[in-house]
Structure 1
Amino acid sequence: MVAPLLTWPWEGLGSFKYILYGPFLAKILHARRQDDASQTIWCLHILILCALRGLMYQAWTSYSNMLFLTRNRRILKQGVDFKQIDQEWDWDNFILLQAAIATLIFYMFPFLGDLPTWNTRGFIAVVLLHIAFSEPLYYLTHKYFHGNYLFTNYHSLHHSSPVPQPFTAGHLTLFEHLVLAVVIGIPIIGACLLGIGSISMIYSYVLIFDLLRCLGHCNIEIVPHQIFESFPFIRYLLYSPTYHSLHHTEMDTNFCLFMPIYDLLGNTLNSKSWDMHKKFSIDAGKNGRVPDFVFLAHVVDMTSAMHAQFVFRSYGSMPFTTRVILLPCLPICFLVMLFMWAKSKTFLVSFYNLRGRLHQTWSVPRFGFQYFLPFAADGINKHIEEAILRADRLGVKVISLAALNKNEALNGGGTLFVNKHPNLKVKVVHGNTLTAAVILNEIPEDVTEVFLTGATSKLGRAIALYLCRKRVKVLMLTLSTERFQKIQKEAPTDYQKYLVQVTKYQAAQNCKTWIVGKWITPREQSFAPTGAHFHQFVVPPILRFRRDCTYGDLAAMKLPEDVEGLGSCEYTMDRGVVHACHAGGVVHSLEGWTHHEVGAIDVDRIDVVWKAALNHGLKPVSSVSKLIPQ
């Protein structure tokens, strides 16, 4: 039998639950039309307060996930994974619930709609009522919820989140939030019934209540230990994130709402609370664990910049798509872009653990379009070089360059940095060997002819040379006979005949396998025959113009199942899927290879890298695979 008051009444509505705020707006519009302000004021305040509360939790969660600011202040070091994000998806149900309860109270006590804006005595009363009633009531009920029945049926949901986050504070069952509504309501209703309540008192109490809840669950120690050492009594009046995190790891201690004095009186105070708080406070100025592997990414455009986990956690946990609802945020994103340009510092955006090794993603503060500006090349290379040198100083073992960060025209696929700094201990990897392997893996074994654009690029060259060895005819689109002949001479003599130079798209009118390494327009796609398939390794991906053809995604691989702490999607990739160049760096790190992978791709290593990836549990996203040995 399901425990009562476990699920939310609007659970089946999904995102449409926000329609339930509609009656508040309708009431405001109707009353204003009737010129009856007294009937609208409380509805308006409820809506404003709900919006401010939602913004409060979102702001705290964003701060908690700003790893470039908080990485050394984290209490629990593991990342927030997809499972926790999905569990806490509807964290804001309690705001809607308390809005409904507030509506009921206003109907029961109409005089509350005429509260004054300010009353100093009301602030004093609400603090005293909170200390005398709310704090002990929460403490006792919280302890009771840790009993066998209530914990199993209700409170275990809250503790199922391994890493506390501000959204975790709202991750409770309906029954628990009804109890919490009583806790938060007693001081407000009490002050109002005493005739000393005010609108500013309600706003202040509710928002400070939420602020302290977010503080306790933020997993970032921001309270200086010097305060507690200088004024020891304060440690019993205000908890810290470390104090509350101990409740999540040692659940029979630290039950208080905000004031540890009740744990002291109830003999449930964790003896390690102050020592751990001091330790985390002191360690905030020290560097944390050095990552074994770093993936150096870059922002694609302003819209995709909002896909970072520290902006909207739920949005970042899904494959990137442009959402209309985010367009109003573009002006803010533009200001952040200007700040990034001015700050000009590589920053940490995400991390995960794999086989006991810490993998981090750093981002260069440059947007995709800047890579195509000639005058920006030196500045971009400077940022990449600084990131490599920083990784080298820290003791990182492998740093992998993403997409445009390893552009051949920009830095020769990383060769520039390796030649400039021959004594680098960190291994610089472009990951294109595995990218080539993934693309080749998608080509069916019965293919006898392919059409290749971007044929003389780093990837194009490797793909052409590999395919010709498999006796596949490669139509290489290039206007440079010199570059074509240079590649052709690299092939064994018996296989050079399989490499054919073409200069027009019309040459591929009968070829159903296109490998696109250079962006092609819809008109150029029109030369492909019906039923053709477009494999691609071009950034950005080509437009899916032809309905009578099929299109492959960018080369990617799924990370092993034992990856931990992964909670964000890599651009348009599905959960747990990363670009092949990222996966190539992961394999390089797991294998412990001691060479740099820069410049031209070693065709002889394509099979080696592919087998190593499969041996470590990485899986191709495409199920079509025959050319490369399994």
Structure 2
Amino acid sequence: MVRMAAPLSGWPWENLGIFKYLLYGPLLAKVIYSQIQEEGTFKIDWCLHILIICALREMVHSFWGSYVNMLFLTSNRRINQQGYDFKQIDNEWDWDNFILLQALIASLACYTFPPFIDNVPLWNTKGLITVLVLHVGISEPLYYWVHRNFHGSFLFTHYHSIHHSSTVLHPFTGATATFLEHLALTTITGIPIIGSYMMGFGSRIMIYCYILAFDFLRCLGHSNVEIVPNRLFQIFPFVRYLLYTPSYHSLHHTEMDTNFCLFMPVFDAIWKTLNTNSWELHNQMSSNIAGKKERVPDFVFLAHVVDVTSSMHAPFVNRAIASLPYTTNPVLLPFWPVAFMVTLTMWARAKTFLISFYNLRGRLHATWAVPRFGFQYFLPFAQEGINKHIEEAILRADRDGVKVISLAALNKNEALNGGGTLFVNKHPNLRVRVVHGNTLTAAVILNEIPEDVKEVFLTGATSKLGRAIALYLCQRRVRVLMLTLSTERFQKIQKEATLDCQSYLVQVTKYQAARNCKTWIVGKWITPRQQWWAPKGTHFHQFVVPPILSFRRDCTYGDLAAMKLPDDVQGLGSCEYTMDRGVVHACHAGGVVHLLEGWDHHEVGAIDVDRIDLVWNAALKHGLKPVSRLTK
């Protein structure tokens, strides 16, 4: 039996997706038409005011959302220590529906009563006082009782439960509600504005100030970051009844029969619904901030910035975009200069910073980032400074009590630091385990190769990964065409194989040697022209950064080695670069396995071929799943 949704619980435009923003079109058309009619004289009419207010409201919520996700600033101020997961992000995806709703209602009101905006002054001090009095005297108590009624059995189940479905409060949580709830909230918000105008004290500034202040305070209460100092309440005790705090409102979401107020706890005190732990929690959160350290993670993945545009693929920039695999988003291109300046600021801080975290099996896994771009890793004069950043991150992790730190992509480059060997040799007494994770990367690539393959072509053959793959495959009696110009390096690897397997390793110096081989393992970037030597039907496995171009339509291309995290991961709400949700690079997964297994050795330098199967089986045992997605 299909259960029908309650009346007014859904939004009229919920099936439009991104096209809902076309509903702003008539307002924009009216603005353009008005400017044409004025023949060169710029005029700010009510339609333009509505659009400006909508844009400002979007900015208020977006800036609050960015601040909350700046974990490098707010991690020791968070009330709920869990992260925002994909389920919550999707649930709050259309948080700005209420802005569109109120814009349409405002445009209808202004169209019905044109003088409502056009004939009012820019400023009126009495209007600001009046709107404040009406808010305190009418909107606050009205909201209290409406909100309290929405916690009744029927209204809560059919309307208000969506607001309480979010695990961790976020500014977007405060904006996420049903159509009926926002109709009620629009009425509550409109009473002070309409009342002030009816009394003759209205002004344009009054509308801007009241609406933006209203949104600001709603975001404050749902921010999950305590920023109101306890010192304020100690000096002025009565203020605690006039202004709620994030910790105060968080109690409403944990003990839902308390703290119903809009912004002023005095109404909870009057009607005896004030949570008795409100002041104690606020005192605990705010007074200990100075000496409180962020929770120490058990595992750290040390990432790096690829380029300026990818630096915007972070939760503190836009959590919705960060929750999807990275692509070059045209919407973000205008913000490129801002991102570049922020990255320069990070450089000036000369330290790594926390960008995301998640929980797995009760252990905190964090991602730190080195504030350097990918191209800098290939500049000889920049390598010393980069190694210093990595070394400081390792020492910080060791000092804080982190158990495992895994190095991402270029942070473990062989030419840079010998796959992490530099740091382990320099600091032999490290308690934190340094892991490059390439053993699992090799395992993922090798397990993608079908059992019936008898010959492969390998580029990047003498690299750390190339060597391990070649030695492993020759043990399986697979002929490996190793592309390298260095006979000395080839022979060194060949001698590592047993005598009966050495003949399966063959040195080649040209791509033409692979013209009949349909399995290519690419560890060094190849051009479209070089790809032409592959026969029709070839599959390109790869462990090269950046990935090669999918140029051949008659061939297939594998993604970079990756694994899906176990299903019991909690608080994961951002994608790792181009990976799908819940999927991480194999080197990241290798560090996770190292922690879950409790191994006490460093995994640096050359890959131990004998451990490839061991690490692979350990990953599968802990619920990590291989990811192989073919593209044409």
Between the aligned partners of 2:326 and 2:543, the Cα distance in structure 1 is: 18
Asked if 1:387 corresponds to 2:390, the answer is no
Aligned partner of 1:150 in structure 2 is: 155
Amino acid at match of 1:58: S
Aligned partner of 2:487 in structure 1 is: 481
Asked if 1:447 corresponds to 2:450, the answer is no
1:216 positional shift: 0.2
Aligned partner of 2:77 in structure 1 is: 73
Superposition CA RMSD, Å = 1.1
Q: For the Cα contact (< 8 Å) 2:361–2:569, is it kept in 1? A: yes
Structure 2 counterparts to residues 278-317 of structure 1, below 5 A: 278-285=283-290, 286-317=292-323
Asked if 1:16 corresponds to 2:22, the answer is no
Between the aligned partners of 1:477 and 1:57, the Cα distance in structure 2 is: 54
Aligned partner of 2:10 in structure 1 is: 7
Query: Kindly, what percent of the aligned residue pairs are identical?
Result: 73
1:282 positional shift: 2.2
Structure 2 counterparts to residues 382-531 of structure 1, below 5 A: 382-531=388-537
Q: For the Cα contact (< 8 Å) 1:406–1:430, is it kept in 2? A: yes
Structure 2 counterparts to residues 230-629 of structure 1, below 5 A: 230-285=235-290, 286-622=292-628
- State which of 27, 31, 37 in structure 1 corresponds to 2:30: 27
1:288 positional shift: 2.9
Amino acid at match of 1:187: P
Q: For the Cα contact (< 8 Å) 1:569–1:576, is it kept in 2? A: yes
1:507 positional shift: 0.6
Amino acid at match of 1:71: S
Q: For the Cα contact (< 8 Å) 2:123–2:205, is it kept in 1? A: yes
Asked if 1:85 corresponds to 2:92, the answer is no
Between the aligned partners of 1:573 and 1:480, the Cα distance in structure 2 is: 34
Between the aligned partners of 2:294 and 2:309, the Cα distance in structure 1 is: 31
For the structure 1 residues 422 and 401, does the alpha-carbon distance in structure 2 shift closer, same or farther, using more than 3 Å as the test? same
Q: For the Cα contact (< 8 Å) 2:565–2:624, is it kept in 1? A: yes
Asked if 1:173 corresponds to 2:178, the answer is yes
Aligned partner of 1:135 in structure 2 is: 140
- State which of 219, 223, 228 in structure 2 corresponds to 1:218: 223
Q: For the Cα contact (< 8 Å) 1:27–1:43, is it kept in 2? A: yes
Deviations 1:107-137 (A, max 9, x none): 2332212211100000000000000000000
Query: Which structure 2 segments of 5+ residues have no match?
Result: none
1:226 positional shift: 0.8
Asked if 1:107 corresponds to 2:107, the answer is no
Task: Count residues with an aligned counterpart.
Answer: 624
1:105 positional shift: 1.6
Q: Secondary structure at the match of 2:66?
A: helix
Q: Secondary structure at the match of 2:15?
A: helix
Between the aligned partners of 1:19 and 1:109, the Cα distance in structure 2 is: 24
Q: For the Cα contact (< 8 Å) 2:559–2:629, is it kept in 1? A: no
Asked if 1:121 corresponds to 2:126, the answer is yes
Q: For the Cα contact (< 8 Å) 1:27–1:40, is it kept in 2? A: no
1:623 positional shift: 8.1
Q: TM-score, normalised by structure 2?
A: 0.98
Deviations 1:35-92 (A, max 9, x none): 2989961000000000000010000000000000000000001000000000000000
Q: Secondary structure at the match of 1:460?
A: helix
Deviations 1:370-413 (A, max 9, x none): 11111000000000000000000000000000000000000000
Q: Secondary structure at the match of 1:314?
A: helix
Between the aligned partners of 1:38 and 1:270, the Cα distance in structure 2 is: 53
Between the aligned partners of 2:198 and 2:105, the Cα distance in structure 1 is: 17
Q: Secondary structure at the match of 1:5?
A: coil
Amino acid at match of 2:146: T
Deviations 1:452-480 (A, max 9, x none): 00000000000000000000000000000
Between the aligned partners of 1:38 and 1:175, the Cα distance in structure 2 is: 38
Between the aligned partners of 2:583 and 2:532, the Cα distance in structure 1 is: 31
Aligned partner of 1:627 in structure 2 is: none
Deviations 1:214-236 (A, max 9, x none): 00000000000011111100000
Q: For the Cα contact (< 8 Å) 2:223–2:246, is it kept in 1? A: yes
Between the aligned partners of 1:345 and 1:230, the Cα distance in structure 2 is: 37
Q: For the Cα contact (< 8 Å) 1:442–1:623, is it kept in 2? A: no
- State which of 175, 185, 192 in structure 1 corresponds to 2:190: 185
Q: For the Cα contact (< 8 Å) 1:126–1:191, is it kept in 2? A: yes
Q: Secondary structure at the match of 1:350?
A: strand
Deviations 1:513-559 (A, max 9, x none): 00000011111111111110100000000011111110000000000
Aligned partner of 2:48 in structure 1 is: 44
Q: For the Cα contact (< 8 Å) 2:120–2:202, is it kept in 1? A: yes
Q: Secondary structure at the match of 2:238?
A: helix
Between the aligned partners of 1:388 and 1:213, the Cα distance in structure 2 is: 40
Q: For the Cα contact (< 8 Å) 1:72–1:283, is it kept in 2? A: no
Q: For the Cα contact (< 8 Å) 2:35–2:42, is it kept in 1? A: no
Deviations 1:401-431 (A, max 9, x none): 0000000000000000000000000000000
More displaced 10-residue stretch of structure 1: 325-334 or 154-163: 325-334
More displaced 10-residue stretch of structure 1: 360-369 or 275-284: 275-284
Q: For the Cα contact (< 8 Å) 1:73–1:283, is it kept in 2? A: no
Query: Which structure 1 segments of 5+ residues have no match?
Result: 625-630
Amino acid at match of 2:91: Q
Deviations 1:579-629 (A, max 9, x none): 0000000000000000000000000000000000000000001289xxxxx
Q: For the Cα contact (< 8 Å) 2:127–2:196, is it kept in 1? A: yes
Deviations 1:309-368 (A, max 9, x none): 110110000000111121111111111122122222100000000011100000000111
Between the aligned partners of 2:115 and 2:31, the Cα distance in structure 1 is: 18
Between the aligned partners of 1:103 and 1:347, the Cα distance in structure 2 is: 45
Between the aligned partners of 1:232 and 1:598, the Cα distance in structure 2 is: 57
Q: Secondary structure at the match of 1:494?
A: coil
Amino acid at match of 1:300: V
Between the aligned partners of 1:64 and 1:261, the Cα distance in structure 2 is: 27
Between the aligned partners of 2:277 and 2:32, the Cα distance in structure 1 is: 55
Deviations 1:244-298 (A, max 9, x none): 0000111000000000000000100000000000101123221132111000000
Between the aligned partners of 2:457 and 2:348, the Cα distance in structure 1 is: 44
Between the aligned partners of 2:356 and 2:44, the Cα distance in structure 1 is: 45
1:32 positional shift: 1.8
Between the aligned partners of 1:537 and 1:318, the Cα distance in structure 2 is: 22
Q: Secondary structure at the match of 1:493?
A: coil
- State which of 226, 229, 232 in structure 2 corresponds to 1:227: 232
Q: TM-score, normalised by structure 1?
A: 0.98
Asked if 1:199 corresponds to 2:209, the answer is no
Between the aligned partners of 2:287 and 2:385, the Cα distance in structure 1 is: 36
